[in-house]
Amino acid sequence: MGLLKGLLRARNLLLVVFVPLVLLPLPMLYPSSVSTGLSSPGARGSGGRSRRGGGWTERGAYCNSSTWFPEAACAYVLIVTAVYWVSEAVPLGAAALVPAFLYPFFGVLRSSEVAAEYFKNTTLLLVGVICVAAAVEKWNLHKRIALRMVIMAGAKPGMLLLCFMCCTTLLSMWLSNTSTTAMVMPIVEAVLQELVSAEEEQLVAGNSSAEEAEPISTNLNGVPTITNPIKTAHHQGKKQLPSQEKPLVLTPGPRNRDLNRKYKSQHDQMICKCLSLSISYAATIGGLTTIIGTSTSLIFLEHFNNQYPAAEVVNFGTWFLFSFPISLIMLVVSWFWMHWLFLGCNFKETCSLSKKKKTKREELSEKRIQEEYEKLGAISYPEMVTGFFFILMTVLWFTREPGFVPGWDSFFEKKGYRTDATVSVFLGFLLFLIPAKKPCFGKKNNGENQQPSLGTEPIITWKDFQKTMPWEIVILVGGGYALASGSKSSGLSTWIGHQMLSLSSLPPWAVTLLACILVSIVTEFVSNPATITIFLPILCSLSETLHINPLYTLIPVTMCISFAVMLPVGNPPNAIVFSYGHCQIKDMVKAGLVVNVIGLVIVMVAINTWGISLFHLDTYPAWAKVSNITDQA
């Protein structure tokens, strides 16, 4: 028993050391079978030569460590990296660096070629978006939006559920799912604390005043530590709220855990479960809506642009036009499902906006939320600037290449030089220059001319940016690009695609459905970025082999990978919600399974209806043929 416990404690070390050693025979013994089968023409030379260690040697020669065949060596690197990602034996960002030193070692890619894969156009897009997100969080614009929407909805359970889901979805379109969940959950907890308080009479008599007198934590990082690297990358980057009046943030401490065990009724417990889980689902739904909503869609976009540079069909506008109806339908259907599962079918009572039907507890909850909103004070100058930049960035993204009309990019003589990253980086750069204090030129204060204040702090500082920037995701995405580039140059992706020729007898929709089901299962146990990084090169090769428009497979799979909503380990929002203690794993599985199925069905319907006309999925595009020819050249 002691030995077993010791092995479990040393699990990560054993995986890191022994997995590469156990798999080492792969690039040493497999060449004979690879070289006689289908191999990438790029890995062969004339006269029966093979590329080894970056040079060309006769097949019978032995060149020590440089005697590696590209396909087998690339497969070795891919498997080792995938095992590290799945097991999380090392941080995801650190595991993403494995191709940076193993590819040059095995002669798959030069070191300079691998390095170029770690910083792409999508990285700049993320940098600009994070600048705006840092400003939003620093000046509490997201708090103001969330509290205002809750005030508009009232405290009726059904309307409160719908309001929180809509608010979370809206914020998650632009902020990371993790940051959105971490921001909204404390507000939800404050409302739930009122709804499940012990006796209404005690609350009205005096306990409510004692509640309000308690010190309130404003540290969003106070949520208990969750062992999920992706969550850590986003959540630790959250900004300490610097505002003058600190908004309500209640983290799950001992008092809340005791409260969870003392629900006044079964109905109160169901409300707590319903609202908590709905935040995680709404964050996932919102992340689908925009191309910058999740790291998963960013990885897809960059990989697609690298794989098919001639395909100018996916941008912020076209993605939004396709995904917004999906998110809207999913939001409504998920709301009905959560309401039916936890609150019952009495929609008329739980969704009424009539003040005459409100209970005392609901009135107290509304009063509490109104007080927290008033603490924010009047909208400040930095909030207005941040909101303006937020809207301006969205408008410029939409109008760059709308697809149905010429965009502002057509005004320039040279086409294709400007991307969504150009807009986001430019606006993000301006936030470092614009002062956070409204300039007052020539105004009088107490009878004296006030001098212009030119040295004030800007809207965001570099320190604000660093605290919010998820560098682990940047490295992880770069590692995915490196793996994809190695798979393409070595011929491994082409070889894998030809092994899947048996699927050619299936109709395209069946191939896409099977791929979506597969990734939906895998992503419940493996992080979303790792899952999509592993599957994208394989699905590209599969689509080219079966002559299916790659977007017909890649877009649904990218969306289904985000539907990891059944387990706390599925994604960081699940873990944050689970840490508050209102729901158990069986609740997450029961509710999340149906949400997963709802998402899968809606995505499949969307890709086979308006997706076909939007992306021309009914034909095999010329840009895919060009890519296929290039791979085999």
**Sequence-ordered alpha helix ranges (H) in 506-584:** 508-522, 528-545, 550-561, 572-579
Same domain, 35 and 184: no
Higher pLDDT, 213 or 389: 389
Mean pLDDT, residues 389-394: 83
Do the domain assignments include residue 402?
yes
Query: Which of 50-54, 249-253, 415-419, 526-530 holds the top average pLDDT?
Result: 415-419
Same domain, 283 and 317: yes
Q: 430 burial class (0-12, 13-18, 19+ CB within 10 angstroms)?
A: middle
Same domain, 363 and 413: no
Same domain, 37 and 74: yes
Mean pLDDT, residues 369-395: 84
Of 321-330, 355-364, 599-608, least confident by mean pLDDT is 355-364
Q: 458 vs 138, 435, 463, 466, 610, CA distance in Å?
A: 12, 4, 12, 15, 44
Do the domain assignments include residue 55?
no
pLDDT tens digits for range 51-76: 444 433 333 333 444 455 788 888 88
pLDDT (0 to 100) of residue 29: 64
Higher pLDDT, 403 or 375: 375
Percent of the chain with pLDDT over 70: 70
pLDDT (0 to 100) of residue 330: 92
Mean pLDDT, residues 12-32: 77
- Positive or negative, the Cα torsion across 469, 474, 475, 476? positive
Mean pLDDT, residues 402-407: 68
* DSSP 8-state class, residue 223: S
Same domain, 175 and 265: yes
pLDDT (0 to 100) of residue 44: 38
pLDDT tens digits for range 78-122: 888 888 877 778 887 888 899 999 999 888 889 988 888 888 777
Of 17-26, 209-218, 306-315, 593-602, least confident by mean pLDDT is 209-218
Same domain, 221 and 340: yes
Residue 10 has pLDDT above 60, yes or no: yes
Same domain, 225 and 363: yes
- CA gap 73, 495 in Å, rounded: 13
Q: Which amino acid is it at 375?
A: K
Residue 347 has pLDDT above 70, yes or no: no
Residue 235 has pLDDT above 60, yes or no: no
Residue 412 has pLDDT above 50, yes or no: yes
Same domain, 347 and 442: no
Mean pLDDT, residues 485-493: 77
Higher pLDDT, 223 or 9: 9
Do the domain assignments include residue 311?
yes
Residue 603 has pLDDT above 90, yes or no: yes
Higher pLDDT, 406 or 115: 115
Same domain, 191 and 311: yes
Residue 601 has pLDDT above 90, yes or no: yes
Report the number of distinct structural domains present in the chain: 3
Same domain, 323 and 437: no
Do the domain assignments include residue 245?
yes
Q: Residue 324: which pLDDT band, with cuts at 50, 70 and 90?
A: very high
Same domain, 334 and 401: no
376: closest CA among 529, 207, 151, 561? 151
With contact defined as beta carbons under 8 Å apart, do 209 and 106 qualify?
no
pLDDT (0 to 100) of residue 358: 63
Residue 245 has pLDDT above 90, yes or no: no
When the pLDDT of each residue in the chain is averaged and rounded to a whole number, the result is 73
Q: 286 vs 282, 330, 370, CA distance in Å?
A: 6, 10, 25
Q: Residue 351: which pLDDT band, with cuts at 50, 70 and 90?
A: low
Residue 260 has pLDDT above 50, yes or no: no
Do the domain assignments include residue 304?
yes
Query: Which of 292-296, 326-330, 356-360, 544-548 holds the top average pLDDT?
Result: 326-330
Beta bridge partners of 51: 56
Do the domain assignments include residue 350?
yes
With contact defined as beta carbons under 8 Å apart, do 40 and 71 qualify?
yes
619: closest CA among 542, 539, 552, 549? 549
> Checking DSSP bridges between strand 448-449 and strand 44-45, what pairing results, if any?
unpaired
Residue 157 has pLDDT above 80, yes or no: no
- CA gap 325, 328 in Å, rounded: 5
Q: Give the end of a domain, one of 328, 352, 379.
A: 379
Q: Residue 188: which pLDDT band, with cuts at 50, 70 and 90?
A: confident
On the CB side of 231, how many CA atoms lie within 13 Å of its CA?
22
With contact defined as beta carbons under 8 Å apart, do 435 and 453 qualify?
yes
Angle at 281 between CA 569 and CA 194, to 5 degrees: 100
- CA gap 320, 438 in Å, rounded: 34
Higher pLDDT, 77 or 28: 77
- CA gap 556, 535 in Å, rounded: 12
- CA gap 104, 189 in Å, rounded: 51
Q: 405 burial class (0-12, 13-18, 19+ CB within 10 angstroms)?
A: exposed
Q: Give the end of a domain, one of 411, 434, 467.
A: 467
With contact defined as beta carbons under 8 Å apart, do 358 and 154 qualify?
yes
pLDDT tens digits for range 426-466: 999 999 999 888 877 655 555 555 554 445 789 999 998 98
Residue 627 has pLDDT above 80, yes or no: no
Residue 32 has pLDDT above 60, yes or no: no
Q: Give the end of a domain, one of 424, 449, 467.
A: 467
- CA gap 399, 317 in Å, rounded: 8
Rg, Å, the chain Cα set: 27
Do the domain assignments include residue 337?
yes
Do the domain assignments include residue 530?
no
- E strand or H helix that includes residue 44: strand 44-45
Q: Which amino acid is it at 409?
A: D
Same domain, 158 and 198: yes
Domain hosting 105: range is: 1-45+65-116
Q: Mind giving me the DSSP string for 232-289? A: HHHHTTPPPP--SSPPP-----HHHHHHHT--SSHHHHHHHHHHHHHHHHHHHHHHHH
Q: Residue 264: which pLDDT band, with cuts at 50, 70 and 90?
A: low
pLDDT (0 to 100) of residue 107: 85
